[in-house]
Amino acid sequence: MSASIRSGLKVVCFRKLLIPLQQVPSRCYKKGLSKDLRIQYKSRLTVGPEPDRHRSEFINWNYDSEVYSFGKRLGEDLNDDILKKVFLHRSYIEREKKKIQELGIAVGTSGLDVDHNEQLAKSGEQLASNYVLIYLRNAFPNYFEEGIRSIHEYLMSEDVLCNIGRHLGIPELIMCDDFPLRESTIVTTLMAFIGALEQEKGKERAHLFVRDFILPQLIGKDINEMWNVVNPMGLLTAVLHFQKRGLPEPRLLWEGASSTLMSVYHIGIYSDQKLIGKAPGETAQIAEEMAARDALKRLCQTQESRPALLLGKLSENLKLDEKKVNISAKDIIEQFSPKESTASTSSKSIFGIFKGNHSLNKV
Amino acid sequence: MSGGSIPSNFLKNVLNNGIGRYVCQMKRVTFKFCKQRNDSQGTRDFIENHLLDFTNAHPGVVVYIQPRNNRPSKIVAEYLNGRSEGIATTKMPQEEICQWLEHLRTRSGAEIVRLRKNHHTDNPSTQGVWHPFTNKDTSLNLAKFPDNDSYKVPSTVSTTDRLLEMGRKLRQEKLSEKS
């Protein structure tokens, strides 16, 4: 009633008339609310944040259903027993045994004589690691073995595998001692799943899993950055020598703004009068190194414009040569006699362009 | 609100899903409802008529049913990326709940925010960024300016001449038709 009168007055009356009405105490239930909120806020600060809880502590959790769905989600038809073994870690069994011993019950009668996933993880890791190597060697047949190893190292690194495991819903299902989980535990479980696939469904199916989940992690990554080449010009010289082609000749293609901070030099590398790579740089040395890297990329066919990896439906009838071993950069360098080395002299030749004659070499 | 304070993101794919095989990103869904309240009627109908069909079609999703007394009904979906999404289904008919469930199932689980770009590419340009030397012939390095060769018009027939010629022919044809 009073509210309706007040709203009426607001329209018709002057401001002065409203003053006594505003002083009427409001009959409101939220008088102490702000005080309460302040107390709640302060106590939250003193108590600290809510601790992380395992998903199984919540009411909507059924381990059997979760494990069953895990296999179905990934399109793998494994039985529940082997799946449960995949998620069972040694630390969990040990902890449970300890608990039982403390209670004074004989361990033999507890039903804890079950297998943990260590063996599966071992075989799974071996299979995944092998398959990644074979696939990469076939995908990049002209790339150096060292480079292939670096890409393999990246794919099988704990960060990458842990990220895959997290996005497949593995962490919640793991039965182990530690919480929050260590990254290595997630990786072990993922590898154990691959091992279980190999054991139950055969190698082919396990290979398909690796191809579908681990290898796509290369998409959008620069594979040339994964292997650090210290002296690209030296390696390029050795490679050209190995291929019985002319030794690399760096030439200045263009330069601009050379007396300013924004200077740019474009250097091309020639072999037998043919341009095999070019790149820009702030100084001639940087540009020369980058050009050597570019030439190496083109020789190894790992340049940015290479065709995409064969994955998914494109790889259905993929046949990989399992015995293929790529050529090693170390072998090439060893074959190349140090007398002919132009890795050090090449930088002199580039200075020759500047110091000797300013009219640039026509290329 | 300014553009800086509204959350935004780039188009992303969770774990390159679909490159290999497609994995449904909704891992768990919980139906929370009241057994007696009228506004949970739609959820109760859904559980009675459609839930089994859903579970048979999607064995990769774990379904939980959580009755709560005198609380509003709700669907909570949990995703593989760790996020969860809730939708209030109070007073909703069962058909609408089916549609919302399908919406939740087909999502990636990523937060719905303003997209800065509607496309994504890992290789923005295979040619590389344009610079003043792109597609420039290196022989120009040796040219002495003024270089008369640079100003030379190619000896072939120009497009303007070709067009004029075509026009002239058309006019002649028209004239011959009239006569």
**What are the per-10-residue average pLDDT scores of chain A (363 residues)?**
46 48 65 90 94 93 96 94 95 91 79 86 97 97 96 97 96 93 96 97 96 95 93 94 94 91 93 94 94 96 90 91 92 75 41 32 33
Q: Which of B14, B64, B136 sits opposite A167 (nearest CB)?
A: B14
Residues B85 and B160 in one domain: no
What CATH number is attached to the domain comprising B65? 3.40.30.10
Query: What pLDDT score does A4 carry?
Result: 47
Return the pLDDT at B179.
82
Can you list the positions of beta strands (E) in chain B?
Answer: 8-9, 26-33, 62-67, 74-79, 84-88, 114-115
Nearest of A215, A197, A195 to residue A205 by alpha carbon: A197
B80 SS3 class: coil
Provide the domain limits for residue B158. Answer: 144-178
Q: Are residues A217 and A286 in the same domain?
A: no
**Cβ within 8 Å, pair A60-B28:** yes
Residue B3: inside a domain? no
Same-domain status, B26 and B109:
yes
Test A220 with B122 for CB contact under 8 angstroms: yes
**Residue labelled with tokens 């050379």:** A258
The SS3 call for residue A41 is helix
Chosen from B11, B15, B24, B79 to mutate, greatest number of chain A CBs within 10 A: B15
Q: Which residue in B21, B61, B66 is closest to A69 by CB distance?
A: B61
What does pLDDT average to over chain A? 86
**Structural domains in chain B (count):** 2
Closest CA to A84 of A4, A196, A184: A196
| Pick from A60, A166, A311: CB nearest B20 | A311
Distances (CA, A) of B102 to A76, A104, A168, B51, B161: 23, 52, 21, 12, 63
- Rounded-to-integer distance, Cα A169 and Cα A153, Å: 24
* pLDDT given at position A11: 44
Model pLDDT, residue A221: 92
- Contact check, Cβ <8 Å, B64/A219: no
CATH code of A106's domain: 1.10.1520.10
Query: What is the total count of domains within chain A?
Result: 3
d(C-alpha A318, C-alpha A304), whole Å: 23
**Considering only residues 33 to 62 of chain A, which have any Cβ-Cβ distance to chain B shorter than 8 Å?**
59-62
pLDDT along chain B (179 residues), means of 10: 83 91 96 96 97 97 97 97 96 97 96 91 76 82 82 84 95 92
Nearest to A359 by CA among B139, B144, B142: B142
Residues within 8 A of A (CB atoms), B 74-113 only? 80-82
Cα distance from B136 to chain A (closest Cα, Å)?
9
pLDDT at B145: 84
Take residue A286 and report the two structure tokens written for it. Answer: 């940087």
Q: Do A214 and A240 lie in a common domain?
A: no
Backbone angles phi, psi at B32, to 5 degrees: -105, 130
Which CATH number do you get for residue A332? 3.30.160.20
Q: Check if A77 contacts B (Cβ < 8 Å).
A: no
Residues 6+ apart with CB under 8 A from A23: none
Q: Is A266 on the interface with B (CB under 8 A)?
A: yes
Is residue A201 domain-resident?
A: yes
DSSP at A326: P
Q: Which residues of B touch A220 (CB under 8 A)?
A: 122
Among A181, A187, A184, A186, which residue's Cα sits nearest to residue A52? A181
Enumerate the residues of chain A whose CB falls inside 8 A of the CB of residue B14.
167
Same domain, A236 and A173: no
A163 touches chain B (CB under 8 A): yes
Do A202 and A238 fall into the same domain?
no
Is A360 within a domain? Answer: no
Q: What is the mean pLDDT of chain B?
A: 91
Query: Which tokens in the block code for residue B96?
Result: 């609408």
